Structure 1
């Protein structure tokens, strides 16, 4: 692996390949004001996010999650794409992107103009019933939460990575969570929690696109989660070179042909 601090080798890497399979992670959205999860060594910066098992198994966990999300959604829903998102949209405009597979749930790639996008871990702007499968807009959930819990939106708190906030020390016992309007089931954000499997059809669509590509580019992901790391493994097995833009260690460092340790927006600025 070549470790670089300038963008010229990345420019050459992109120029030399016809179709590039792009995978993005939290580092792509930090310049939009959404915090990332891990430090330069790939370790958690905070407590591990909510697990699927905890959310489904405990009303108290759901109260805590939705109370934090109620406060955080106001800011999260107003975030805008940054130069990294726009640069990757430009890559697609030039016909160089086979697919953009994102681990992020913020939909900022779509807002920047990218069209061929797979949201590997789902999307936070939608809520799904775990019983009947009905989906509703996250904004509709927000209005229901505000109506049931007046005063909670006025609490000041630090922004967290998943569109929520840190509300340490708050009493969540009286926080009311609305049920599914159709069947009364448990409502969950339409994202893949830790401990929950990624839908097979998303993985299969991404793998087909990787087959079409002749190289892979990772942007802003440490790849510590297997759901993303597997695609670098697949590219390596197929003899396709992989490059990464990431500040700090990735799980795939030994598999990379090139790594650029710069902020994503800076490293990709030549595409703009």
Structure 2
């Protein structure tokens, strides 16, 4: 039987949404945001933009390369796609696990410790909020450090899987990193998907308990966020007096729905992001500036 055709390299979609020309956007500064948020309990919603200063590229900033997602349907339905994904992830997770929280992550942890922030709903899978000391975090799209069997439901650590993948592909990393390259030299997406082409001979690992298909415990494009997780996130928005959005273009409904919920309830929405977001028309204040420096300023203004 001929081997399956090599899949095209998956990456993430370019942004196709633009702000309507007649939209009213209330632009402001960190000081304006602090005046809106002062005295209120706040829930934060974060995206990939908060982790760029930790060395993890985002999806949709003006400088991001075009990306097209590998969908859940492709992953579960095509062995060639799974091979391609696990080869790239075997490289990419090495980078993500070495990243450290930046001042933006630490700022949100400080706001929580000061009693200003109720918690964080994050679209990221990098666990940097937890590493920074945030205690109430909803990892909306899952975690990069865990792997689940789609057949028996067992969950294992990504570190344990790395040992198995290395044993199955003993010289793979050496080949990828030939010529003096390091993992840091390779473009890695926020879900630990590294941009490499040498994947056709990679050997994925099956579940060691039942032989089933292993998948990162990450919500893929075309896959639904578990309902229980969404309800907990809604409750965190409902329990707060305001919503602070940081580092996300809100292009997909997964994050935008929380902005819409807060705005529908009459709660102030502050958005901090470089460039347009789909939630801008709903923002009480939009701060078009760097996430790290703006969040650090909010600590001084709200908890100083």
What TM-score do you get using the length of structure 2 for normalisation? 0.84
Does the alignment pair 1:163 with 2:192?
yes
2: CA distance, partners of 1:112 / 1:39: 23
Matches within 5 A, 1:27-42: 27-40=49-62
Aligned with residue 251 of structure 1, among 260, 266, 278:
278
Cα deviation, 1:60-118, whole Å, max 9, x if unaligned, reads 00000010111112211111000000000011001111221000000000000000000
Q: Identify unmatched segments of 5+ residues in structure 2.
A: 1-24, 178-184
Alpha-carbon RMSD across the aligned residues, in angstroms, is 1.4
Structure 1 equivalent of residue 80 of structure 2: 60
Aligned with residue 34 of structure 2, among 5, 8, 11:
11
Matches within 5 A, 1:1-272: 1-4=25-28, 6-17=29-40, 19-40=41-62, 45-154=65-174, 155-156=176-177, 158-161=186-189, 162-168=191-197, 170=198, 172-270=199-297, 271=299
Give the Å deviation of 1:50: 1.5
Mark the structure with the bigger radius of gyration: 2
Q: Do the aligned partners of 2:30 and 2:294 also contact (CA within 8 Å) in 1?
A: yes
2: CA distance, partners of 1:59 / 1:130: 14
Q: Do the aligned partners of 2:36 and 2:268 also contact (CA within 8 Å) in 1?
A: no
Give the Å deviation of 1:173: 3.0
1: CA distance, partners of 2:47 / 2:223: 18
What TM-score do you get using the length of structure 1 for normalisation? 0.94
Higher strand share: 1
Number of residue pairs the alignment of both structures matches:
266
Moved over 4 A (4+): none
Q: Do the aligned partners of 1:99 and 1:206 also contact (CA within 8 Å) in 2?
A: no
Q: Do the aligned partners of 2:242 and 2:269 also contact (CA within 8 Å) in 1?
A: yes
Q: Identify unmatched segments of 5+ residues in structure 1.
A: none
Per mean C-alpha deviation after superposition, the further-off stretch among 194-203 and 172-181 is 172-181
Q: Do the aligned partners of 2:59 and 2:67 also contact (CA within 8 Å) in 1?
A: no
Q: Say which SS state the counterpart of residue 165 (structure 1) adopts.
A: coil
Q: Say which SS state the counterpart of residue 216 (structure 1) adopts.
A: strand
1: CA distance, partners of 2:102 / 2:250: 21
